[in-house]
Amino acid sequence: MRPVIIESPYAGDIEMNVAYARAAMWDCLERGEAPYASHLLFTQVGVLDDSDAAQRARGIEAGLIWGRNAAATVVYTDRGISTGMQQGIDRATAEGRPIEYRSLPDFVLPHDQMKGELAAIGQSVMNWIDELTQQGGPLKDWTPAESPAEVIPDLYNMLEESFACHRQACGETKVLAAELEARNELIFPRELTDDLRDVLSMMMWNTGPIAHALRAGGADIPTKAELEQAHVLHWLTLLVLEHGSAWREKGEEKLKEIRATLTAASTEGDA
């Protein structure tokens, strides 16, 4: 492998320049070369501080010393020629080392690549949002950011707010349920359900036999038709609120218990 010393920018937009220098090293390796980039080595945390002029000069000089062993100085020019790069070029000229100028036309800066990916994803999400905003739910009437690249974080923030409201509402519901449970109260629905309709539509001739059974079981029910009906409807409504669609089974179980108790008492009396 041919040893080469890389010249590319570091100061300025450090994050982007580091990404570019790494791409340059990869390019050298693909060419079968052994690259050396002092600005990626000496600028690491705990080595030299590139913002300090004296330390920066020391790092540049150390890199150029190693350059004496290189077969060539390769200069990557897409991001311009910095002062440090020019020093490397001048030293290579003075030492008679070949200088090669290179470009990375396919290099995409990380933030540009990410922005492009986000834009593509964002466009798909925007199409999806256009459909969902026509429906109900948290996205109804929501207006996303105009830029596709900003849709993802904008959507995230919107959903976070929606979930926060949902968590708050759930918390309030749990508190209310706990309070009602402590007070031994049930929540009566605002809408008439099928089960409540079946109960509340019972006529007196339906509720009369049930009232007689409950009275025989010890319930204090006046012997007046409309009062018997009221008592039975109240009892059955409670079963609906407590057991839902299983109210009939629960009611039958209770009536069977009453009948069994009465039968047992009658048998003992005959004995």
Q: What is the CATH number of the domain that holds 6?
A: 3.40.50.450
Q: What is the mean pLDDT of the chain?
A: 81
Task: Tell me if 265 is assigned to some domain.
Answer: yes
Q: What is the pLDDT of residue 182?
A: 59
More confident of the two residues 97 and 174: 97
Question: Each residue of 22-46: b (16+ CB within 10 Å) or e?
Answer: ebbbebbeeeebebbbbbbebbeee
One domain for residues 89 and 117: no
One domain for residues 97 and 118: no
Q: Would you say 109 and 19 are in contact if contact means Cβ atoms under 8 Å apart?
A: yes
Q: Which of 181, 205, 233 is the last residue of a domain?
A: 181
203-226 pLDDT, tens digit each:
988 898 898 889 988 889 998 889
One domain for residues 149 and 169: yes
Task: Tell me if 94 is assigned to some domain.
Answer: yes
Q: Which domain holds residue 155?
A: 111-181
- CA–CA separation, 224 and 247 (whole Å): 25
Average pLDDT, stretch 240-267?
86
More confident of the two residues 85 and 179: 85
57-95 pLDDT, tens digit each:
888 888 788 888 899 999 999 989 998 899 899 999 999
- CA–CA separation, 179 and 150 (whole Å): 44
One domain for residues 85 and 136: no
More confident of the two residues 264 and 222: 222
More confident of the two residues 271 and 268: 268
- In 3D, which of 118, 99, 102 has the Cα closest to residue 110? 118
One domain for residues 255 and 211: yes
* Interior angle at CA 109, CA 108 and CA 111, nearest 5: 125
One domain for residues 17 and 98: yes
Q: Which of 158, 181, 204 is the last residue of a domain?
A: 181
Q: Would you say 189 and 196 are in contact if contact means Cβ atoms under 8 Å apart?
A: yes
Q: Which of 102, 124, 150 is the last residue of a domain?
A: 102
One domain for residues 26 and 98: yes
Q: Would you say 232 and 202 are in contact if contact means Cβ atoms under 8 Å apart?
A: yes
pLDDT at 132 over 80: no
More confident of the two residues 132 and 45: 45
Q: What is the pLDDT of residue 217?
A: 86
- CA–CA separation, 66 and 5 (whole Å): 8
More confident of the two residues 257 and 144: 257
More confident of the two residues 188 and 119: 188
Full 3-state SS string of 36-96: ECHHHHCCCCCCCCCCCHHHHHHHHHHHHHHHCCCCEEEEECCCCCCHHHHHHHHHHHHCC
Q: How many domains does the chain have?
A: 3
pLDDT at 202 over 70: yes
pLDDT at 228 over 70: yes
Task: Tell me if 242 is assigned to some domain.
Answer: yes
**Could you tell me what percent of the chain has a pLDDT over 90?**
28
Task: Tell me if 129 is assigned to some domain.
Answer: yes
One domain for residues 73 and 128: no
Task: Tell me if 187 is assigned to some domain.
Answer: no
- In 3D, which of 2, 12, 5, 3 has the Cα closest to residue 102? 5
Q: What is the pLDDT of residue 71?
A: 94
The band of 129, judged by pLDDT with boundaries at 50, 70 and 90, is low
One domain for residues 74 and 56: yes
